[in-house]
Chains A and B, each alone.
Chain A
Amino acid sequence: MTMQARNLQPIRQQPWDWATKNEYEEVTLREQPYIHGHYRNKYYKPDYDIYDPRYTRVRVRDWEAFRDPKKLWYQTYVMTRKKMADEVEALFERAGKLAIYERVDPAWRKFSLAFYTPLRHYEYAGAVQLQHVVRYAMGCPIEQAATYTAFDKQGRAQWLSTWALEFAGGEGLQALQHARQLWLEDESYDKLRSYMEHVLVTDDWVEVLVALHLAIEPILDRLAYEQLNAISIEHGDPVLAELALICSEQVQWQENWTASLFQLIATDPTTSRWDYLKSLGYEDWPGDYRWGRTLSNPKSTPEETLTNQEIMSQWASKWISRAIQAVTPLQSLLDRHGISCAVEPVMERAMASYILPTLEKCGIDVKISV
Chain B
Amino acid sequence: MAKLNVSTRYKALTRDLMWDPKDVNIKEIYPLIEAEGIHIRDPKRWEDPFRMTFNQYVKIQSEKEHLHHAIRGAFEANHGHARIVDSRWFEGVKAFAVAVQPAEYAAHRLMAYIGRNIPIEAIRFATFNQAVDELRHAQIEIKHYAHMSRYYDGLHAYSKTNENLWFNTVPKSFFDDALTSGPFEALIAISFSFEYVFTNILFLPFASSAAAVGDEHFASVGKSVQSDESRHMALGMAALKMLLEEDDRNIPIVQRWLDKWFWRCYRVFAVISTLVDYYPRIRAISWKKAFEMYVEDQVLNGLFKDLFKYGIRPPRHFEDSMKEKEHYSHATMRILDHYKHANYFRGFRLQPDDYDWLSREYPNTFERYYAPFFRKMDDHVMAVASPGLPAVCAVCQIPCEYPNPDRPQESWTQYVEYNGKTHMLCSPGCRDIFLAEPEKYMQWWWPAESYLSGEFGSSLEDMFEYFGFTPEEANEHYSSRDYHRWIRYREELGLDKRFETV
Contact = CB atoms under 8 A, between A and B. Distances in A.
Task: Please determine if A and B sit in direct contact within the complex, based on CB atoms under 8 angstroms apart.
Answer: yes
Contacts of A57: none
Interface in A264-319: 281, 284-286, 288-290, 294-295
Contacts of B152: 11
B32 A43 contact: yes
B182 A42 contact: yes
Nearest to B489: A8
Interface of A: 5-8, 10-13, 15-18, 23, 26-27, 30-44, 50, 73-75, 78-79, 81-82, 84-86, 88-89, 96, 120-121, 124-125, 127-129, 131-132, 134-135, 140, 143-144, 147-148, 150-151, 154-155, 157-159, 161-162, 165-166, 168-170, 172-173, 176-177, 180, 183-184, 193-194, 197-198, 200-201, 281, 284-286, 288-290, 294-295
Contact of B150 (A12, A78, A143): A12
Count chain A CB atoms within 10 A of each CB in B14, B180, B485 and give the residue with the most. Answer: B180
B159 A197 contact: no
B437 to A, nearest CB: 9
Contacts of A26: 142-143, 146
B22 A184 contact: yes
B81 to A, nearest CB: 10
Contacts of A157: 13, 17
B375 interface: no
Interface in B108-160: 108-110, 112-113, 115-116, 125, 128, 131-132, 135-136, 138-140, 142-143, 145-147, 149-153, 155-160
Given A78-B58, A183-B19, A43 B143 contact: no
B248 interface: no
Interface stretch (B38-46, B209-217, B236-244, B445-453): B445-453
Interface of B: 1-2, 4, 8-9, 12-14, 16-19, 21-24, 28-29, 31-32, 35-36, 53-55, 57-59, 61-62, 65-66, 69, 79, 82, 102, 105, 108-110, 112-113, 115-116, 125, 128, 131-132, 135-136, 138-140, 142-143, 145-147, 149-153, 155-160, 162-164, 169, 172-173, 176-177, 179-182, 440-445, 449-450, 453, 455-457, 468, 485, 488-489, 491-493
A116 to B, nearest CB: 14
A74 B131 CA distance: 12
A286 to B, nearest CB: 7
A289 B453 contact: yes
A285 B160 CA distance: 13
A121 B158 contact: no
A123 to B, nearest CB: 9
Closest 3 CB pairs of A and B: A131-B116, A30-B159, A134-B112
Contacts of A177: 16
A67 B355 CA distance: 51
B275 to A, nearest CB: 22
Contact of B132 (A41, A147, A201): A147
B1 A38 contact: no
B158 A16 contact: yes
25 contacts: A7-B488, A15-B145, A15-B150, A17-B156, A31-B105, A31-B159, A32-B109, A36-B163, A36-B172, A38-B169, A78-B136, A85-B58, A121-B17, A125-B18, A131-B112, A131-B113, A132-B116, A135-B109, A147-B112, A154-B125, A183-B19, A194-B23, A284-B457, A288-B450, A294-B443
A144 B172 contact: no
Given A18-B159, A147-B132, A193-B22, 13 more contacts: A11-B485, A27-B146, A31-B159, A33-B172, A39-B180, A40-B180, A74-B135, A79-B62, A201-B24, A281-B160, A285-B456, A286-B455, A290-B443
A288 B445 contact: yes
Nearest to A20: B146
Contacts of B16: 176-177, 180
B54 A131 contact: no
Contacts of B157: 16-17
A44 B139 contact: no
A42 B440 contact: yes
B51 to A, nearest CB: 12
B450 A289 contact: yes
Nearest to A128: B116
Contacts of B24: 197-198, 200-201
B252 to A, nearest CB: 18
A89 B124 CA distance: 23
B25 to A, nearest CB: 8
B176 A27 contact: no
Contacts of A140: 105
B151 A11 contact: yes
B156 A155 contact: no
B125 to A, nearest CB: 7
Given A36-B163, A73-B139, A173-B12, A43 B182 contact: yes
A82 B57 CA distance: 9
Nearest to B21: A197
Nearest to A44: B32
B22 to A, nearest CB: 7
A172 B12 contact: yes
Contacts of B125: 154
B36 to A, nearest CB: 8
Contacts of B61: 78, 82
A85 B164 contact: no
Contact of B58 (A8, A82, A125, A147): A82
A330 to B, nearest CB: 18
Contact of A165 (B12, B139, B151): B12
B163 A33 contact: yes
A134 B109 contact: yes
A27 B142 contact: yes
B132 A124 contact: no
A289 B109 contact: no
A140 B8 CA distance: 36
Contacts of A13: 150
Count chain B CB atoms within 10 A of each CB in A10, A36, A88 and give the residue with the most. Answer: A36
B389 to A, nearest CB: 14
Contacts of B456: 284-285
A12 B443 contact: no
Nearest to B104: A31
A89 B29 contact: no
Given A16-B157, A34-B163, A128-B18, A8 B79 contact: yes
A116 B257 CA distance: 43
B132 A74 contact: yes
Contacts of B150: 10-13, 15
